[in-house]
Amino acid sequence: MRTPERKIMTLEQAVAWHRTLRDNHQRLAVTNGCFDLLHRGHAEYLARAREHADALLVAVNSDASVKALKGPSRPVVNEADRAYLLASLEAVDAVVVFATAKPIDIFCQVRPEIYVKGGDYTIDTIDREERTLLLSLGCEVRIIPLIPGVSTTNTISRVRGQD
């Protein structure tokens, strides 16, 4: 088993790694998200995502992009720690941190065979630019059912006594 540190890659490393997978006739699934306060819902989602391919790459939002998406109090956990925790999961084969609002560069350069999103999305509600790009690359889009009642927002609310 590779150590978590070896699973955390630059975009260039991920591209080269995927090339090796393709050379060995293996398919890559990619998913993306903030993954702030890693919880059971994340772990189950990633395990299910991994079942769709031979390897799973997780593109994780940088601290700045999480703050832009979720507000000034987020992320709760910094990007280096989130990447390490994700890379520690057996289902995750590689992690790349991205600093933009959308992981477009990762999709363009890595060119995954499969894109996986959680059940809070449908094919129609996935970001239009991302969906158009992925489909133009010949990428299959798979939606995985959510684990009911488990989310980072719910966890933060419980900790703050707001539920």
- C-alpha atoms less than 13 angstroms from C-alpha of 147 in its C-beta half-sphere: 14
Query: Given this model, what pLDDT does residue 2 score?
Result: 84
CATH node for 4-159? 3.40.50.620
Query: Given this model, what pLDDT does residue 159 score?
Result: 63
Q: Which pTM was predicted?
A: 0.91
Query: Given this model, what pLDDT does residue 137 score?
Result: 95
Taking the C-alpha atoms of residue 58 and residue 73, their distance in angstroms, rounded to an integer, is 23
Can you list the residues of the chain whose pLDDT is less than 50? none
Decide if 38 contacts 82 (C-beta within 8 A): yes
Domain edges within the chain: 4-159
pLDDT digits (tens, 9 = 90+) for 26-63: 999 999 999 988 888 899 999 999 999 999 999 999 99
Query: Given this model, what pLDDT does residue 150 score?
Result: 62
Taking the C-alpha atoms of residue 36 and residue 66, their distance in angstroms, rounded to an integer, is 9
Decide if 113 contacts 141 (C-beta within 8 A): no
Decide if 112 contacts 142 (C-beta within 8 A): no
